[in-house]
Amino acid sequence: MSETALAAVQKPTAEVPAIRLRRLTKSFGETNAVDGVDLDIRQGEFFSMLGPSGSGKTTVLRLIAGFELPTSGTIELEGQDVSGKAPFERDVNTVFQDYALFPHMSLVDNVAYGLRVRGMGRTERRERAAEALGRVQLGKFVSRRPSQLSGGQRQRVALARALVVEPKVLLLDEPLGALDLKLRQQMQIELKELQRSLGITFIFVTHDQEEALTMSDRIGVFNNGKIAQIGTAHEIYQRPAGPFVANFVGTSNLFDPVVAGRLYGRQEQFVVRPERLSLSWDRSAAMHDGVASLPGKVTSIVYVGHATQVNVALEDGPAVVVLVGTELPEGEQLLGRDVTVSWAHRDAVWLPGEA
Amino acid sequence: MRLSRSAKTILGIMTALVLLFIYAPLLLVVVNSFNADRTFGWPPKGFTLEWWGRAFDSEGVREALVNSLWVAVVSTVISLILGTMLAMALQRYKFFGRDVVNLLVILPIALPGIVTGIALNNMFTTILGVSLSMWTVIIAHATFCMVTVFNNVIARLRRMNGRLEEASADLGAGVFTTFRLVTFPQLRSALLAGGLLAFALSFDEIIVTTFTIGAGDTTLPIWILQNLFRPNQAPVVNVVAVVLIVVSIVPIWLAQRLSADSVGISAGRARARAAVK
């Protein structure tokens, strides 16, 4: 993570961005699906657009691809304004959520499609398509139809089809959404490696925060058609810019300004991540410097495999989630027990302004 | 839903009776076309191919057959082009009055043929001032044949994944290339089914034809009507009727097999009626 953060810092800032969005707005009737988005995506970057459904991330992707035209604002591709251009006039390609493979064509014809409409001869384009399929481990299946493939294989064909025409930017619309967990994790790694080796800019839309955190150089978190925060995975997770980001990316324990005022004398919200909270199974507060603690009662316990999630209702404070990595005390009644929750002051993340 | 044994039996018998009631008379026509007895005595005393031979030798029948085929083919081609264009426009684009246009397109199939016939006759002769011919019949047939194509194509478009066309454009294909390489192949079986139904509809049409056909021209149904009451022609009329049945039924059977999902004539009529209400 620190490596990608460094790489991002070292990039020359004068470089023309792969994609530049300025005051980009898209309205459907009364609602603004995308509301004045400004965004620069760097050359060769793996950029994720993260947000809940309806946050406008997919619409931004469709605007970049040209399937929708903006209500106002501009889209630049490598410094060229493409805002009003048709999809076939833009040097970007899309991997669709449902892959959108042509059902009446074999795999090789699917992949060769982009070359065919560019006027490349039959033999050459089929050769290139077969090569591209080979690169995604589907070399044996060239003459199959999409319906004869599994979800993961279709996903690879969609990738090969989009990449064979060598786009400047590849757009991926929740491409892993339909895959099961194991396959998804494997594809995350493959996609990331592919992007690194090709050096093409990837714009990846997802609602899965874990996916965004693992794969991306930078992440833009979307909410209500606006970008709530842009930053590296580390920045987004450790220093969320507001309560929305804090809650959407990972679980956060949000403390209101009243509690903050009592503990720190500062009338602002702050959050502490569940894994940064520690729990002692009695009322003995750890009274040393740099640590805050509050008493509470255990309300529920959820075993999540690598740890246990303990929900605690704090007295004079919110209900919080504590992630306990060690074994719980055995053979005792834990529910309803009086406990103390504490955290280091430096793990409290202050959220500016908005309530 | 599970049915009891007696319910199954009763439903089976009812189905058999209804089908018998529909198809026994048709079968009778087919058998009589081979009946050796001129007056169609029943049961037939013997079978002959004489009437079939007489029919094929008859200049009038041959001309009517060629006319019928010509009218059906041309009005089907017109229907395929216009029906597809209409379906794409109404499915893809939202515009003021879209629902009204949709209704107006499917309405002709629900309109009584005699009304369509009189209206078109008026239009051709008094307003446009063209003389009636095979072409006026073709245009008249196309008005309702278009509906079967339209219904089939729009049903297919509704089920078609819209992302396919986006993917095609995304990969660099222009509007026409996308239609040729992606949309059309997806529509192919719907077009075939709609076209076959249109063909069948036109081939055996009589009412609208009566009002729009030129003097002296005949189609097969018109020929039957003209010869129905000439006793010496009765056996040949039977043969022509059989030809009409076969040429109408085969396309419909094919169309059904081609696309289980295709919206046939009956569905089109039902939809038109529902829309009128």
Distance from CA of B271 to the nearest CA of A (A): 30
Mean pLDDT of the region A274-300: 83
Q: Match 């009364």 to its residue by tokens.
A: A30
pLDDT tier at A286, thresholds 50, 70, 90:
low
Residue A28 has φ and ψ, to the nearest 5°, of -115, 105
pLDDT tier at A353, thresholds 50, 70, 90:
low
Distance from CA of B152 to the nearest CA of A (A): 19
Q: Chain A partners of B182 at a C-beta cutoff of 8 Å?
A: 102
Are A241 and A258 part of one and the same domain? no
pLDDT score, position A287: 65
Are A173 and A149 part of one and the same domain? yes
Question: Of B9, B35, B11, B92, which Cα lies nearest the Cα of B241?
Answer: B35
Distance from CA of B250 to the nearest CA of A (A): 27
Are A155 and A195 part of one and the same domain? yes
Are A129 and A178 part of one and the same domain? yes
CATH number at B254 reads 1.10.3720.10
A114, closest residue in chain B (CA to CA): B171
Q: Of A248, A268, A284, which residue sits at a domain end?
A: A248
Are A35 and A74 part of one and the same domain? yes
Is A326 strand, coil or helix?
A: coil
Least confident of A76-80, A110-114, B271-275: B271-275
Are A212 and A242 part of one and the same domain? yes
pLDDT score, position B249: 87
- Token pair in block for residue A261: 């005022």
CATH number at A258 reads 2.40.50.140
- B169 in contact with chain A, both atoms CB, cutoff 8 A: yes
The rounded distance, in Å, linking the Cα atoms of A157 and B175 is: 24
Distance from CA of A259 to the nearest CA of B (A): 51
Q: Chain A partners of B168 at a C-beta cutoff of 8 Å?
A: 102, 113, 117
Q: Does position B263 have pLDDT exceeding 60, yes or no?
A: no
Taking residue B114's Cβ as centre, other Cβ atoms within 10 Å add up to 12
Q: Strand A46-50 to strand A201-206: parallel, antiparallel, or no bridges (unpaired)?
A: parallel
Are A231 and A320 part of one and the same domain? no
Which residue range is the domain that position A198 belongs to? Answer: 2-248
Q: Which helix (H) or strand (E) holds A349?
A: strand A349-351
Is B247 a domain residue?
Answer: yes
Q: Chain A partners of B173 at a C-beta cutoff of 8 Å?
A: 88, 113, 117
Mean pLDDT of the region A231-251: 89
Q: Does position B127 have pLDDT exceeding 60, yes or no?
A: yes
Burial of A321 (0-12, 13-18, 19+ CB in 10 A): middle
Asked if residues B50 and B114 have their Cβ atoms less than 8 Å apart, the reply is no
Asked if residues A199 and A44 have their Cβ atoms less than 8 Å apart, the reply is yes
Mean pLDDT of the region A267-288: 83
Mean pLDDT of the region A37-45: 94
CATH number at A169 reads 3.40.50.300
DSSP A87: G
Are A139 and A35 part of one and the same domain? yes
**Helix/strand/coil percent split, chain B, to 5:** 80, 0, 20
Cross-chain CB nearest to A102 (options B164, B174, B177): B164
pLDDT score, position A81: 93
pLDDT score, position A67: 94
B177 with A117: Cβ contact below 8 A: yes
pLDDT tier at A265, thresholds 50, 70, 90:
confident
pLDDT score, position B199: 93
The rounded distance, in Å, linking the Cα atoms of B27 and B23 is: 6
Taking residue B28's Cβ as centre, other Cβ atoms within 10 Å add up to 14
Interfacial B residues in 85-144 facing A (CB < 8 Å): none
Q: Which residue has the higher pLDDT, B76 or B57?
A: B76
- Summary mean pLDDT of chain A: 88
Are A282 and A156 part of one and the same domain? no
The rounded distance, in Å, linking the Cα atoms of B143 and B141 is: 5
- B59 in contact with chain A, both atoms CB, cutoff 8 A: no
The structural domain count of chain B equals 1
Mean pLDDT of the region B113-139: 92
The structural domain count of chain A equals 2
Are A139 and A260 part of one and the same domain? no
- B172 in contact with chain A, both atoms CB, cutoff 8 A: yes
Mean pLDDT of the region A38-57: 93
B166 with A88: Cβ contact below 8 A: no
Cross-chain CB nearest to A86 (options B161, B163, B169): B169
What share of chain B has pLDDT > 90, as a percent? Answer: 50
B167 with A102: Cβ contact below 8 A: yes
Least confident of A59-68, A310-319, B176-185: A310-319
pLDDT digits (tens, 9 = 90+) for B186-233: 998 899 999 999 999 999 899 999 999 988 899 999 998 888 888 778
Are A242 and A140 part of one and the same domain? yes
Residue B251 CA: distances (Å) to CA of A302, B77, B256:
65, 15, 9
Is the bond into B43 cis (omega within 30 degrees of 0)? yes
Question: How many CB contacts within 8 angstroms connect chain A with chain B?
Answer: 63
Q: Does position A42 have pLDDT exceeding 80, yes or no?
A: yes
Is B228 a domain residue?
Answer: yes
Mean pLDDT of the region B96-101: 90
Which residue range is the domain that position B249 belongs to? Answer: 65-276
The rounded distance, in Å, linking the Cα atoms of A204 and A159 is: 13
A165 with B171: Cβ contact below 8 A: yes
Are A243 and A259 part of one and the same domain? no
Distance from CA of A160 to the nearest CA of B (A): 12
pLDDT digits (tens, 9 = 90+) for A153-211: 999 999 999 999 999 999 999 988 878 888 888 889 989 999 999 899 999 999 988 89
Q: Of A233, A248, A263, which residue sits at a domain end?
A: A248
